[in-house]
Amino acid sequence: MSQPSALINVMTAAAQKAGRKMVRDFSEIEHLQVSKKGPGDFVSNADKKAEKIIFQELQRARPKFSFLMEETGEVAGEDSSNRWVIDPIDGTTNFLHGIPHFAISIGLERDGECFAGVIYDPINDQMFWAEKGQGAYLNRRRLRVSGRRDVTESLFSTGIPFIGADEKDNAVFMRQLTAVASGSAGVRRFGAASLDLAWVAAGRYEGFWEAGLCPWDMAAGIIMVREAGGYVTDQQGSKNMMNSGEIVAANDSLHAELLALLRKARKASS
């Protein structure tokens, strides 16, 4: 399916409209008024404006659907089986520091399952999109996860704990990072989980792991990786990512090996 469905068209149009405004704000980053939400967690006027645009566009197109949004929280709709899960700017810290690596992430849950998603990189105009049973795409090009089978030749990505993280969680992460980095071609941390997942789907990374995530960080990326032929679980090997906040995504050859490395490192730190 190189032609996106009506559902995907609705989602990409919302992301593109918010993205145009976001790029203008990014070019004038020094003029943004920034308020502090919590330790290491910032929200800008651009974040709020992007979420409002996306909400309005999606509600106009699908007025009965429910919402879960990073800034606003839950908005109940008549149709509780369909829920939009939205991160207006994934990579807010990058955005506020003038680093051009951030994305708009819009996922759709249907009956509690990730059904469709778009992840839009507005700086590079790269639209990643996927729908259950229809494949994953970058603009109009079909995506497949990497075909590498050897961990020593593989590149992975992760998210590093920041201010406020539990010391035990930090210790677990450091053991996991050491385990993966010492046996692979490298580990990257670019600061936007949705793009990390999109890049796994595109074969740029062989795998990605992180803990302490929120549903809006993962919803679109989960269906993206699955539709590109990859596997996604939490660190226990279950499909409880949206509740646990943990995710391990990789190609079909290396997911089990990456999961085993992470679980062994976690056990060693307990």
Residues recognised as catalytic? 70, 87, 89-90, 92, 217
Cα 200 from Cα 230, distance rounded (Å): 8
Q: What is the phi-psi region of residue 229: left when phi exceeds 0, alpha when psi lies from -120 to 50, beta otherwise?
A: left
Please tell me whether residue 166 adopts helix, strand or coil conformation. coil
User: For residue 146, with 0-12 CB atoms within 10 Å meaning exposed, 13-18 middle and 19 or more buried, which class applies?
Assistant: buried
What is the distance between the alpha carbons of residues 223 and 8, in angstroms, rounded to a whole number? 13
User: C-alpha distances in angstroms, 98 versus 23, 77, 102, 166, 196?
Assistant: 11, 36, 10, 28, 19
Sorted by sequence, the CB contacts under 8 Å of residue 256 that are 6+ apart come out as: none
What span, in angstroms and rounded, lies between the C-alpha atoms of 169 and 84? 30
Helix (H) or strand (E) holding 73: strand 73-75
Gap between the terminal Cα atoms of the chain:
47
Cβ partners under 8 Å of residue 124, min gap 6 = none
